[in-house]
Amino acid sequence: MQGERVPDARRTDAVLLLVALVWGSSYLSAQTATAVLPVLVVLFARYALSALACLGLVAADRKSRGWTRDELRIGVPLGITQAAVLVVETYGVAHTSAANAGLIISLTIVITPLLDRSGHRGGLPLPFYAAAGVCLLAVGLLMSGNGFHAPRLGDLLMLAAALIRAVHVALVGRLTVNRAIRPLRLTTVQTLVGSALFLLPASGELSTLAHIGVAGWAQLLYLALFCSVFAFLAQTWAVQRTSASRASLLLGTEPIWAAAVGIALAGDHFTPVTALGATLLVTGTYWGQAIERAHRATAPSGARGTARPATADPHLEDNLIQQALPAERQRAEEAQRPA
């Protein structure tokens, strides 16, 4: 029996690492796409292609009923906040390196617990704020490059994207708590909302899509089908077969992959200062995440966060996936651990 479980665990780990790699590579793909297309056209195309794929999957699921009122009512505001994240993020990655973008956006991990207090009433422990301080120092080093200077526009936009993403994640928790939400249906609503939001602003430049060639369309399809739809479905499949902590750890490698892809494929270069910043940021986010997760697990039962379903673009809850697992599953895992 044990021999059968090990291959399954390895397969699940491999899928989660693949999702993290896909997300990490998305910053370079977005940067490449925005080099040949206006940002708003890239966003509309990504949303529209994702929506078509999601609608196809919904249509293929003939056993499932239509959308519930909650899925529609919650999907619209979450679609708006998700679109806000992606527009700032995409403009940001167009004005900074892919490596910096992937590293700075990981600040979401330490910002979100400051906004979402449902699982840790009474305040976070002091070491968490120390970890957040390490992350802020790391971002300063990443922005400095070869020496301290005025922050680049792209880095500032990625900081803003991390803050807006944290707000979105906290909002997901508030709106979906204790509600029977089907992730694919909610995702479809959000992609349709995003498509509608970007259609009019991008309409004047949609003709540029006819001149981007095969390579340009490949980037758009990769962003829509792999970085959004595939990664979301693969994440959902994998987190149902592993523990919350393990999923969080593996998905948390996204900024590492972002830096690796940027260096290997985009020619990004790290000076000693930015290399130190990257190391501190990865260390600080992992440290802060571990502290917050331990604090949530030891909080009184009445203060623990309620289970939250995985939602929308997987980028938005990537490193907080432990919140997507049912509370009952977490309690069962704790009960099975040796005393």
Interval 149-174: pLDDT, tens: 567 899 999 999 999 999 998 888 88
Q: Is residue 115 part of a domain?
A: yes
User: According to the model, what pLDDT value does residue 299 have?
Assistant: 65
Helix ranges, 61-152 (H)? 69-93, 98-104, 108-115, 126-144
User: According to the model, what pLDDT value does residue 243 have?
Assistant: 74
Higher pLDDT, residue 339 or 20: 20
User: According to the model, what pLDDT value does residue 317 have?
Assistant: 45
Find, among 187, 234, 183, 213, the residue nearest to 50 by Cα. 187
pLDDT average, residue stretch 272-280 = 89
- CA 36 to chain centroid, in Å, comes to 25
User: According to the model, what pLDDT value does residue 301 have?
Assistant: 53
Q: How far is CA 87 from CA 43, 164, 165, in A?
A: 7, 11, 11
Kindly indicate the confidence band of residue 268, based on its pLDDT and cuts at 50, 70 and 90.
confident
Looking at every residue in the chain, the average pLDDT score rounds to 82
User: According to the model, what pLDDT value does residue 2 have?
Assistant: 46
Lookup: tokens for 329: 């599953």
What gap in Å lies between CA 67 and CA 141, rounded to an integer? 47
Which is it for the CA torsion 223, 188, 16, 143, positive or negative? positive
pLDDT surpasses 50 at 308? no
Find, among 117, 83, 100, 135, the residue nearest to 27 by Cα. 100
- Segment (H or E) for 19: helix 2-36
Residue length of the chain: 339
User: According to the model, what pLDDT value does residue 122 have?
Assistant: 64
Lookup: tokens for 333: 């895992």
What gap in Å lies between CA 76 and CA 86, rounded to an integer? 15
pLDDT surpasses 70 at 118? no
Q: How far is CA 260 from CA 63, 88, 286, in A?
A: 42, 23, 18
What gap in Å lies between CA 215 and CA 32, rounded to an integer? 10
Q: Is residue 4 part of a domain?
A: no
Q: Is residue 120 part of a domain?
A: yes
Buried b (16+ CB within 10 A) or exposed e, 80-97: ebbbbbbbbbbbbbbbbb
Q: How far is CA 80 from CA 77, 176, 195, 335, in A?
A: 5, 15, 10, 39
Instruction: Please give the DSSP secondary-structure letter assigned to residue 324.
Output: G
Q: Is residue 227 part of a domain?
A: yes
What gap in Å lies between CA 229 and CA 201, rounded to an integer? 24
Higher pLDDT, residue 119 or 185: 185
Instruction: Please give the DSSP secondary-structure letter assigned to residue 325.
Output: S
Q: Is residue 328 part of a domain?
A: yes
134: CB partners within 8 A, 6+ apart: 280, 281, 283, 284, 287
Lookup: tokens for 239: 């987190």
Q: Is residue 64 part of a domain?
A: yes
User: According to the model, what pLDDT value does residue 322 have?
Assistant: 38
Domain count, the chain: 1
Are the CB atoms for 291 and 133 separated by under 8 Å? no
169-215 per-position pLDDT tens digit: 888 888 887 888 888 898 999 999 999 999 999 999 999 999 999 99
Q: How far is CA 49 from CA 70, 116, 159, 233, in A?
A: 24, 32, 27, 16
Provide, for the chain, the percentages of residues in helix, strand and coil under a 3-state DSSP scheme, each rounded to the nearest 5. Answer: 80, 0, 20
Q: How far is CA 52 from CA 40, 69, 135, 194, 201, in A?
A: 18, 21, 38, 12, 20
pLDDT surpasses 60 at 331? no
What is the domain extent for residue 204? 23-336
The one-letter code for the residue type at 80 is I
> Which pTM value belongs to this model?
0.81
230-253 per-position pLDDT tens digit: 988 888 788 778 876 688 778 888
Q: Is residue 11 part of a domain?
A: no
What gap in Å lies between CA 23 and CA 19, rounded to an integer? 6
Q: Is residue 57 part of a domain?
A: yes
Kindly indicate the confidence band of residue 29, based on its pLDDT and cuts at 50, 70 and 90.
very high
What gap in Å lies between CA 149 and CA 140, rounded to an integer? 10
Burial of 207 (0-12, 13-18, 19+ CB in 10 A): exposed
Higher pLDDT, residue 64 or 332: 64
pLDDT surpasses 60 at 25? yes
